[in-house]
Structure 1
Amino acid sequence: MFVIGLTGGICSGKSTVAKLLHERLGIKYIDADRKAHEVYKQGTPTYYELIKVFGVDIINPETKEIERNALGKVIFSSKEKRVELNNIVWPATKEIVRKEIEEHSKDNVLIVLEAALLIEAGWDDLCDEIWVTETDKDIAIMRLMKRNQLTKEEAIKRMNSQLSNEERNKHAKIIIRNDCNDINALWYQVKKSIHFSQKKSALL
């Protein structure tokens, strides 16, 4: 088994890269951000811990589920609040991801673990190699404004809450640049990268 940790800044194209690897090469794909949704579910220990720390205003009064958007408004306005959230959510999510990887520990497979906060959360120790997608900050801001219907100020605040490209790239074995919204150009980089190592190629 060989695990590629795929990360990158907001709107840098990491999900597109993961999708290409899965759909065109059949590589198993774990979306850590989706796995993180499980720790927010009603009835889990983290659900009650989040309510205790951030209050009942993060709860939908009808469904009783945690509203991610309401929680996001709280944490993106305060570094201290983000730290509190991360200390609750990151360890719980890592355990879910670790168990899924372990299920394939005896298989001769290549796994892509996509995680926006792979480096920050310390999940890189689950991986054999780190890939990073990056794009120009101004391009990422424009994409984020369009995707999430945010103002430029809101988008910049979210961008500034994460690692810079330079900090993230220090951990990378492979860096994939995604500025031009050209899927063929992106696929060329992905295909070249996946065959870069004989070790990975042997698993395909």
Structure 2
Amino acid sequence: MKIIGLTGSIGCGKSSLSDIFRKHGICIIDADIKGREVYENKEVLENLYKEFGEEIKSSDGRPDRKLLGKIVFSDEKKLEKLNDITHPAIRQMIEDDIKAAENKGEKAVVIDAALLIEAGYTSICDIIIVVTCDEGTQIERVMRRDNCTKETAVSKIKSQMSQTEKKKYADYVIDNSGTIKELENQAEMFIEKFEVDYFGK
């Protein structure tokens, strides 16, 4: 089974490409979903409350993720602490899903992760796809998606690894500056090439 890593900067359309792959019957492991599910892990919760205090606990007993986000957004050391607590558990969940897909006989699986490179998943991937788009389109998409100002959108973009840096890790780059139809065409071209290169179809 081949493992495909899919990543891209905020606003570039990584999730749109992931949805297209899913429609083609490719197994998707969504790291964002795992990132939410990790807050149901008892050991993770204990470590979070120990590190950040009971004040981050909401009325339902779960962490207030918005409050936690505010705490770590402006403090790099606290962000590192949060990552140290959550990332190993998220990685374990992803590796469990990879094993499950392999046991089901899947030919390929896509790990859809915004922090694919930063979190060190490149080492387990056979191929890396990076989704990109032009800067103007990226800013517009972030403003529309998050209902924020241009300044806020630019700040969010700059807080992440740049598109240029991400592309250095790519085996395959898909430019999503255009329409969804153009993205679908590029996705289909990738699938055809992937099947020929890896499975001789």
TM-score by length of 2: 0.90
> Over the residues paired in the alignment, what is the CA RMSD in angstroms?
1.9
Cα distance 1:170–1:35, how it changes in 2: closer, same or farther (>3 A)? same
The one-letter amino acid of 1:125's match is S
Q: Which runs of structure 2 are paired with 1:155-174 in the superposition (5 Å)?
A: 155-174=153-172
Unaligned 5+ residue runs, structure 2? none
* Distance of 1:16 and 1:152 partners within structure 2: 22
Q: Which runs of structure 2 are paired with 1:9-158 in the superposition (5 Å)?
A: 9-23=9-23, 25-41=24-40, 44-60=42-58, 62-106=59-103, 107-158=105-156
Residue 45 of structure 1: how far off its partner (Å): 1.0
* Distance of 2:56 and 2:3 partners within structure 1: 35
Residue 108 of structure 1: how far off its partner (Å): 4.6
* Distance of 1:165 and 1:100 partners within structure 2: 28
Cα distance 1:157–1:202, how it changes in 2: closer, same or farther (>3 A)? same
* Distance of 1:104 and 1:48 partners within structure 2: 30
* Distance of 1:151 and 1:50 partners within structure 2: 32
Q: Which runs of structure 2 are paired with 1:158-197 in the superposition (5 Å)?
A: 158-180=156-178, 182-197=179-194
Contact kept in structure 2, 1:195 and 1:201, CA below 8 Å: no
Cα distance 1:155–1:19, how it changes in 2: closer, same or farther (>3 A)? same
SS in 2 for 1:172: coil
* Distance of 1:186 and 1:55 partners within structure 2: 44
Cα distance 1:201–1:12, how it changes in 2: closer, same or farther (>3 A)? farther
SS in 1 for 2:47: helix
Contact kept in structure 2, 1:76 and 1:158, CA below 8 Å: no
Contact kept in structure 2, 1:98 and 1:126, CA below 8 Å: no
* Distance of 2:87 and 2:80 partners within structure 1: 10
User: Number of residue pairs matched?
Assistant: 199
Deviations 1:133-152 (A, max 9, x none): 01223432322222122333
Residue 10 of structure 1: how far off its partner (Å): 0.9
User: Larger deviation: 122-131 or 51-60?
Assistant: 51-60
Residue 20 of structure 1: how far off its partner (Å): 0.4
SS in 2 for 1:195: helix
Unaligned 5+ residue runs, structure 1? none
Contact kept in structure 1, 2:27 and 2:108, CA below 8 Å: yes
Calculate percent identity across the aligned residue pairs: 36
Residue 128 of structure 1: how far off its partner (Å): 0.9
Q: Which has the higher helix share?
A: 2
User: Larger deviation: 78-87 or 108-117?
Assistant: 78-87
Contact kept in structure 2, 1:136 and 1:179, CA below 8 Å: yes
The one-letter amino acid of 2:95's match is R
